[in-house]
A and B are shown apart, each in its own frame.
Chain A
Amino acid sequence: MTANATPILQLDHVGKRFGGLQAVHDLSFVMREGEILGLIGPNGAGKSTLFNLINGVFAPNTGRIVFAGIDITGQAPYLVARHGLARTHQIVQPLTNMTVLENCTVGACFGRENLPLGRAREVAREAAIGVGLEDRLEMLALHLTIAGKKRLELARALAAQPKLLLLDEVLAGLNPTEVEYMIAVIRRIRDRGVSILIIEHLMQAIMSLSHRIVVLNYGEKLAEGSPDEVARNPQVVEAYLGDPKLAAELQAGDATPASQGEASQGSASNV
């Protein structure tokens, strides 16, 4: 990643209001190509709403969203997907009565490359194998475990061969072994040059994965910078004071497996 790389995603004074609730307020940031940008913040800070704004589930009330030079503000999700933006869901959304391979084929068919069915199946197979689902290709998505469904979310998004991947708490609810596996997968995806915007409550994971971090609180940007800068920012620590354990983890910058387990339990309860 170089400093003068072209922006893959640019948010310009984006705002979204639901009735009396200002979910996202005047938010601007730039993401460079090939970057992993972490998005953290307390529950209800507007992280998932922000994902929904970027990929077109909701249209923002104010501001502009530019993806790879294309203004995608308010575009329908299927158009945004065509431009090369894929996402996973915090609450998994498998196509339950379709097999793992079929799920991924949908991603490959209707993603960036708009592949024909035959070629899409090959890409889908590779994507599923890439996240370790090779022994479950013909299994119906509904029979997968929660960890399997999380992997499927990721495989399906990858099958679309995106330029930018939005990951919404892919580690939540996983045990430490599974978390380790997923982190390795995410690193491999980054090494292929895919830009990643990631929401995660597991501090140790996001601190080690991200190049930069944006902290949201009450829908506004509280801080932005490298993981070290963010962890030392007094305002960030204060925002997390309601959760002293997380604040301590932020400051320590690393975590023992025990605290990792607790943190993942903590975030699982947010789901």
Chain B
Amino acid sequence: MWRRPFFWIVAAVIAVFVFAPLIGDNVSLREGLVLAAIYIILASNLNLMLGYAGYINFGSIVFFGLGGYICVWLINSYNWPLAPSLLAAGIGVSVLSFIFGLGILRLRGPFFALSTIGIVEGVQAFVQNFEPWGGSAGIYISPMVFQPLGGPGRALWVIYFLLVAVMGASLYLSYAIKTSKFGLGLLAIGQNEDAAAILGVPTPRYKALVYSVSAFLPAIAGGLYFFKSAFIQPSDAFDLSLSTEALVVAMLGGQGTVTGVAVGAYLYEELRGYLLTSASFSNFQLVIAGALLLVIVLFFPSGLMGFIYSRYPSTKKVLE
């Protein structure tokens, strides 16, 4: 893997994420990169479903939100340290997704897409009424939990570096799957599921597996994000618009590509940051996202990378 240029491109991106905010202790840059990292994590993992297996998942935010809840709850109610809480969040959400996946992945096309929205609404309704998780009020954690990490100031840096690690893991995971036999089977499913099954691809198992794998790292990212906020409530954790944004990002960069999705996520985050801070455009990014999605679907279905590939075919060998 380390002989491929892709490996070094990702390594360079991670290095930039790590060192850029360290220079001059630039906290505001760091906070911007936190969001960029989260978009990259959500979009890359969504891409496993969307770009590889060809299944549109509107509910990827459930992984993020549930991961956040499990992590925050374990830390708050059982005084678990951060690391095992994150791991428990990842594994717990993956196992749940595998079970959900076996059920809903019998559906295809628009029916599957609708069922994923149903899962977001269902999980949100459940959590709102689940007392151990604070119902609709959510869970607050005391700032004391940051003490083991060296106080709130240092804890924010630790959380940031962990998020960057999860981002790097997401990109390498996308690449590893794409170049594996599992990935080949997924791509075949994405192209023509019936033909894939006839060629011997174990379609139900592969689909449930990729759904579950695509839940793991977003769940950990959710754990980190809500631990950082020290607060979680259902409307933040299961915000359907973030799911939709992740879809836009994946399609903007080029579904099925690893680099494209990461670049798309970064560009989108920059745009969103700009629109959010300019006074006249509060929440206007959702309008832009919607318009962007329309333009992409109508005119650039293969996204940014599709455009680059067709312009410069040699880049196909370098950028995955």
Contacts and interface: CB of A to CB of B under 8 A. Distances in A.
A110 B185 contact: yes
B180 A117 contact: yes
A106 interface: yes
Interface in A69-95: 76-79, 81-82, 86-87, 89, 93-95
B185 A95 contact: no
B179 to A, nearest CB: 8
B198 A77 contact: yes
A96 B192 contact: yes
B309 to A, nearest CB: 12
Interface string A151-169: 0000010001000000000
A78 B203 contact: yes
B interface, by DSSP: helix, strand, loop or mixed? helix
17 contacts: A57-B194, A78-B198, A78-B203, A93-B192, A95-B188, A98-B191, A106-B201, A107-B199, A109-B181, A109-B200, A110-B185, A110-B199, A110-B202, A111-B199, A111-B200, A117-B180, A160-B200
A79 to B, nearest CB: 8
A97 interface: yes
A117 B181 CA distance: 6
Interface string A113-143: 0001100100000000000000000000000
B204 to A, nearest CB: 8
B199 A106 contact: yes
Nearest to A142: B191
Contacts of B196: 95, 106
B93 interface: no
Contacts of B200: 77-78, 81-82, 107, 109-111, 160
A81 B197 CA distance: 8
B184 interface: yes
B187 interface: yes
A89 B194 CA distance: 11
B187 A98 contact: yes
A102 interface: yes
A260 interface: no
B197 A78 contact: yes
Interface of B: 180-181, 184-185, 187-188, 191-192, 194-204
A106 B185 contact: yes
A55 interface: yes
Nearest to A96: B191
B191 to A, nearest CB: 4
A78 B189 CA distance: 12
A10 interface: no
Contacts of A95: 187-188, 191-192, 195-196
A94 B192 CA distance: 8
A76 B180 CA distance: 24
Contacts of A217: none
B300 to A, nearest CB: 15
A214 B204 CA distance: 35
Given A93-B194, A109-B181, A81 B188 contact: no
Given A95-B195, A98-B191, A78 B184 contact: no
A108 B271 CA distance: 45
A264 interface: no
A195 interface: no
Greatest chain A CB density within 10 A among B194, B195, B198, B204 is at: B198
A237 to B, nearest CB: 35
B187 to A, nearest CB: 6
Given A86-B199, A93-B194, 7 more contacts: A78-B202, A98-B187, A98-B188, A105-B184, A106-B184, A109-B185, A117-B180
A121 B188 CA distance: 15
A251 B157 CA distance: 86
Contacts of A82: 200
B180 A110 contact: no
A141 to B, nearest CB: 9
A55 B188 contact: no
A89 B195 contact: yes
Contacts of B181: 109, 116-117, 120
A109 B185 CA distance: 9
Contact of A76 (B184, B192, B197, B199): B197
A102 B184 contact: yes
